[in-house]
Amino acid sequence: MLETALFVILAVFTVVTAILVIVQRNPVSSAIFLILTFFSLAGIYLLLHAEFIAAVQVIVYAGAIMVLFLFVIMLLNLEKEKRLVARNRLMKGVGIFLGVALLIQIGMVFQHVILEGAKGKFPPEKVAALGNTQVVAQLLFTDFLLPFEITSVLLLVAIIGAIVLAKREI
Partner 1 sequence: MVSLSSYLILSAILFSIGVVGFLLRRNTIVIFMSIELMLNAANLAFVAFSRFLNSMDGQVIVVFVMSVAAAEAAVGLAIIMAMYRTQKTVNADEMNLMKW
Site for partner 1 in 11-70 (CB under 8 A): 11, 14-15, 18-19, 21-22, 27, 30-31, 34, 37-38, 41, 44-45, 47-50, 52-53, 56-57, 60-61, 64-65, 68-69
Contact between 42 and 54 under an 8 Å Cβ cutoff? The reply is yes
Phi, psi of 77, rounded to the nearest 5 degrees = 55, 60
From residue 67, alpha-carbon distances to 18, 21, 36, 62, 154 in Å are 18, 16, 13, 8, 21
Q: Which is nearer to partner 1, 129 or 147 (CB)?
A: 147
Q: Does 169 bind partner 1 (CB under 8 A)?
A: no
Dmax (CA) of the chain: 60
Q: Which is nearer to partner 1, 129 or 161 (CB)?
A: 161
Cα of 61 vs its chain's centroid, Å: 7
Taking the complex as a whole, the smallest distance from the CB of residue 138 to partner 1 amounts, in Å, to 9
Window 100-159: residues binding partner 1 (CB under 8 A): 100, 102-103, 106-107, 110, 115, 117-124, 127, 132, 135-136, 139-140, 143-144, 147-148, 151, 154-155, 157-159
In one-letter notation, the amino acid at residue 151 is T
Taking the complex as a whole, the smallest distance from the CB of residue 129 to partner 1 amounts, in Å, to 13
In terms of C-beta density within 10 A (0-12 exposed, 13-18 middle, 19 or more buried), how is residue 117 classed? exposed
